[in-house]
Structure 1
Amino acid sequence: MRAPYQVLVLPYIITDNSIEYAIFKRSDFGYWQGLAGGGEEDETPIESAKREAFEEAGITKDYPYIELDSMSSLPVEDVVGNFLWGEDIYVLKEFSFGVKVPTKDISLSKEHLNYKWLCFEEAVTLLKWDSNKTALWELNKRLLNRINNKQKFAKENT
């Protein structure tokens, strides 16, 4: 049974101090977003994120995930179409994650028509949902800070 929450996963790759993000074009509505889906039974949000990333893009569960602070509330009817969990649950929390992948090769499920690897500035302009834009902004800032801190540390120790 589906759990009353949603997850969002944003794959990224870092090469030569540049960061690219994968975004996905939905096959049913044609808009761009991150990988998204609901929890199942007794899964934790991170377990759901890893399962969804594997099911929708073939991303194995052992890649490093970053749990983001970005969290959204989504109307239950927009996510599942009805009051699946009864009349008392009006909104679902959406938990956001980044996942570092070693290659740009993605195995698309039927949920998506296409995917693109883009820099932050390009990706954020294509995303439909504000929750996706906010989570991508947070992930990008966190990764840039890590890169800058590593470069600073390397310079100080040479």
Structure 2
Amino acid sequence: MPRAPFQILVVPFRHVGDQLEFAVLRREDMNVWQAVAGGGEDNETPEQAAPREATEELGLDHPTPLYPLQTTASVPARFFADRIHWPAGTYVVPEYSFAIDLTGIEAAISHEHTALEWRDYDTAHEVLRFDSNRTALSELHERLLAIDLPHPVKSDRPCLLTPPPQDHVARRYSARATSASPWPSGPQTPATAWWDSAPATYA
């Protein structure tokens, strides 16, 4: 079966003491840093594809909550080999973003990546190659500071579970809920579409 005409993005984060860290992964084929990314298989929805991709690319074997983000983007269809199977007139596909909480959970890379690093917000934002990744990261960072994570995705995937009660989440992040701006200061890397350095086809 060809992949579904959409892309998913999953931003991993964890709580270390009173600090937040975000995982970035270096792609094997392009040597750039990104979040978890992939597409749907068979008749998967984005909410089903996201936990599967996170499990595969992060080597997860522990139930982990997944949160939907508002960030969306459009990806040119010409970079996907399966475009030939999609409806005529498909020129872009949507990218849906999620966040995954890996606090206390070990992650490992798949063959698609050569490294995984945990960074604070500013340095993660700086190294991410693609604009959609930076936007999703910024949304997640701001939500965590505001203690405003959305309800987790409901899924039959085994890597998901119901998160702790909201009051527990509030206590967990209260130490980081400050009035400081979540946006990095100083000169910023110009916004760059991910396809600026994309391969001729995207599996």
TM-score normalised by structure 2 residue count: 0.69
Structure having the higher strand fraction is: 1
- 1:81 Cα deviation from its structure 2 partner: 4.3
Query: What runs of 5+ residues in structure 1 fail to find an aligned partner?
Result: 153-158
| Greater CA drift, 115-124 or 138-147 | 138-147
Q: Counterparts of 1:115-154 in structure 2 under 5 Å? A: 115-146=116-147, 150=171, 151=174
Q: Which amino acid aligns with 1:10?
A: V
8 Å Cα contact 1:12/1:98 also seen in 2: yes
Query: What runs of 5+ residues in structure 2 fail to find an aligned partner?
Result: 149-169, 176-203
Partner Cα separation in structure 2 for residue 94 and residue 122 of structure 1: 23
Q: 1:38: which partner in 2?
A: 39
- Pair 1:83 & 2:83 matched: yes
Partner Cα separation in structure 1 for residue 134 and residue 127 of structure 2: 9
- 1:15 Cα deviation from its structure 2 partner: 1.9
Q: Counterparts of 1:1-158 in structure 2 under 5 Å? A: 1=1, 2-60=3-61, 62-78=63-79, 80-81=80-81, 83-84=83-84, 85-103=86-104, 105-146=106-147, 150=171, 151=174
Q: Which amino acid aligns with 2:83?
A: F
- 1:61 Cα deviation from its structure 2 partner: 7.0
Partner Cα separation in structure 2 for residue 60 and residue 100 of structure 1: 13
8 Å Cα contact 2:108/2:116 also seen in 1: no
Post-superposition Cα deviations, 1:87-141, rounded to whole Å, max 9, x if no partner, equal: 3111110000000013363221110000110011000110111000000000010
- 1:82 Cα deviation from its structure 2 partner: 6.5
| Greater CA drift, 81-90 or 62-71 | 81-90
- 1:17 Cα deviation from its structure 2 partner: 2.2
Partner Cα separation in structure 2 for residue 49 and residue 83 of structure 1: 20
When residues 60 and 146 of structure 1 are mapped into structure 2, their CA distance, relative to the original with a 3 A threshold, is farther
- Provide the aligned length of Structure 1 versus Structure 2: 151
